[in-house]
Amino acid sequence: MDPNSILISSQSGTCSHLAELCVEGERSPASQELEKDSPFPWGQASSSSLTDTNWFGDEHIQAKRARVETIVQGICLSPNPLVPGNAQARDSPCCTEKRKRKQSLPMQQGPLKPGPAWGNRKGGPGVREQFHRLKQQLRHLQQHILQTAEPRAAAQDPRGSEQGQGSLREKQRNSCESNPWATDSDRHQDSSAYLCGAEKHRVSEPEHRSEELRFLSSGTQALLEILRKELTRAVSQAVDSVLQKVLLNPPGHLTQQGRSFQRLVPEGGSEPSPPMGGTYKDLFTLATLPRRTQPQVGVPVGNLPLVKPLDSLRYPISPRISKSYQGPATNYPLAIPSHVQENQILSQLLGRGPNGHWSDNPPLDSSSQSHPSIESALQPWVWSQQPCPLPFTTVPHLESRPLLPSVKTEHNSLEAITDATPFSSEGLNPGHLKKAKLMFFFTRYPSSSLLKAYFPDVQFNRCITSQMIKWFSNFREFYYIQMEKFARQAVSDGVTNPKVLVVLRDSELFRALNMHYNKGNDFEVPDCFLEIASVTLQEFFRAVSTGRDSDPSWKKPIYKIISKLDSDIPEIFKSSRYPQEVFRS
């Protein structure tokens, strides 16, 4: 019924997918891999310039800065250790190489550094005032946030305690996002765990609301987190400015402190420190780059190579805040806007509706978004891209699938966040499988590029691609087995004219096929498939009836014929939400 009409009409869009293919085609396997590790390759280029800036290069300065930050924090806000972003979230279970790569990838964190910020520093006389103002603003924000958050927190079910011992990593991601180290290599797990625990204990403190955040709706949570981070960053920047101007003498012994401080205060986004060790750096870079791309509304993101990421986002999904954490996010985005005035940052934070997302919310609410910069930065995408990314997006609630239930739940519970987040970046879910099966009605031999074009919500990599190709291989296997079976039956039944062998919707063969690829029968099988099926059956019949099946490779010619009969796939299949749209209500 409905589905039919849709499909039919959509079928007209023949070339559309070709275009898609071209686009996708640009991505070589290698590049894809790169993207995985660091979705933002371009970051490197842009970063270099920033990296050079070495105002932090000097340990003395750094130490001072750290000191100031500490003070400021004490005054204004709790340093909530939000995780900068964990690029690792995207690791795909199947490909371990990614992990290795990530570590080895010497990404640069250019953007992190406040290069342009220098301009501000030059500011001069007004610095103090500015600083003051910032502090005040921060206080106000804090109050607002607290007011907003507290009430809700009470309402929500506090399940701060770690649940079970599932994958440690994932849990950490969810519960300890605040920990910057979580993102880093596994070796930091311990520390991250530690931090998480610490956080929990401090729940009562007004300043440390990380726990509380968990109880809030995901949306609010995200807002809170983002805001928090951004504020922290802003402060850091302000501090930096001040330091630059005021502090010129390096004490020199604070270096260590500075470091430790950074660790504790992940927000460190502010921390530009170029001197950081490789690992740390990598982290930043990974996380950072992406974000920038974002929306920072007015924020001048210097590097704009970001376009790429967008491509992947082409099919944004409804903004579900489902996963608060999806991505590798990073908070640095904010930090980076170095050239942006501190004031600007604040104002943006306060009033920003960057990508529309927050716009709805009043400043206060937005403030609540303290979620990791990750989101903050990417908002629009965040949601569209990663989160939904694969797993959830595509997967509508197909009939079955206990796996994705949470997805739909969306913002409701933390669960949604928890469950969704980990997978968001990759992996094929039942929804994808179902979609692939339906696509089989149109194409028996899809190319990897075609698959990429039709599964926009999937982050392809070798493993994923192979898996999907394997699916189609399996589909074909079943298909050909059925064909051969029925062809032989026809032969034994005495059929002599292949023309009489036509696959109709009421035929047994069709039922078998439909049962396999369209179990719920919730999809209208296209006529073209019936035609191809008929041709295939006839070819098998001819081969068998003429005794060609004695040849070990007698099926090859048939395969070759069938491989040329793929049809165009309806455009609607390109939608990540495809199933929902196609299936009959």
| Residues of the shown chain interacting with DNA in the complex, contacts defined by CB under 7 A | 29, 94, 428, 433, 436-437, 445, 447-448, 462, 465-467, 469-477, 480, 555, 559, 563
State the CB neighbour count (10 A cutoff) for residue 206: 15
Tokens for 18, please give them: 């070709």
- Residue 381 vs 540, nearer CB to DNA: 540
- Residue 203 vs 433, nearer CB to DNA: 433
Task: Report which secondary-structure segment, H or E, holds 433.
Answer: helix 430-439
175 Cβ contact partners less than 8 Å away, ≥ 6 residues apart: 160, 162, 196, 214
- Residue 210 vs 518, nearer CB to DNA: 518
Q: Tell me how far apart the alpha carbons of residues 391 and 323 are, in angstroms, rounded to a whole number.
A: 12
> Tokens 């559309």 identify what position?
16
Min dist. Cβ of residue 375 to DNA (A): 30
Min dist. Cβ of residue 441 to DNA (A): 13
- Residue 351 vs 430, nearer CB to DNA: 430
- Residue 152 vs 485, nearer CB to DNA: 485
- Residue 242 vs 450, nearer CB to DNA: 450
Q: Is 542 helix (H, G, I), strand (E, B) or coil?
A: helix
Q: Is 369 helix (H, G, I), strand (E, B) or coil?
A: strand
Min dist. Cβ of residue 481 to DNA (A): 8
Min dist. Cβ of residue 439 to DNA (A): 11
SS (H, E, C) 108-171: CCHHHCCCCCHHHHHCCCCHHHHHHHHHHHHHHHHHHHHHHHHHHHHHCCCCCCCCCCCCHHHH
Complete DSSP assignment for 228-284 = HHHHHHHHHHHHHHHHHHH--S---S-HHHHHHHHHH-GGGGG---TT--HHHHHHH
Residue (of 234, 225, 224, 184) closest to 335 by Cα position: 234
Torsion sign over Cα 114, 225, 179, 290 = negative
- Residue 378 vs 468, nearer CB to DNA: 468
Min dist. Cβ of residue 558 to DNA (A): 9
Min dist. Cβ of residue 562 to DNA (A): 8
Min dist. Cβ of residue 502 to DNA (A): 23
Min dist. Cβ of residue 448 to DNA (A): 3
Which amino acid belongs to residue 219?
G
Angle in degrees, CA 101, 93, 215, rounded to 5: 105
- Residue 147 vs 563, nearer CB to DNA: 563
Which amino acid belongs to residue 331?
N
- Residue 28 vs 161, nearer CB to DNA: 28
Min dist. Cβ of residue 340 to DNA (A): 41
- Residue 23 vs 469, nearer CB to DNA: 469
Min dist. Cβ of residue 480 to DNA (A): 6
State the CB neighbour count (10 A cutoff) for residue 539: 21
Task: Report which secondary-structure segment, H or E, holds 50.
Answer: helix 42-52
Residue (of 51, 125, 120) closest to 342 by Cα position: 120
- Residue 276 vs 453, nearer CB to DNA: 453
Angle in degrees, CA 101, 102, 108, rounded to 5: 120
Min dist. Cβ of residue 338 to DNA (A): 39
* Residue 81 near residue 181 (C-beta atoms within 8 A): no
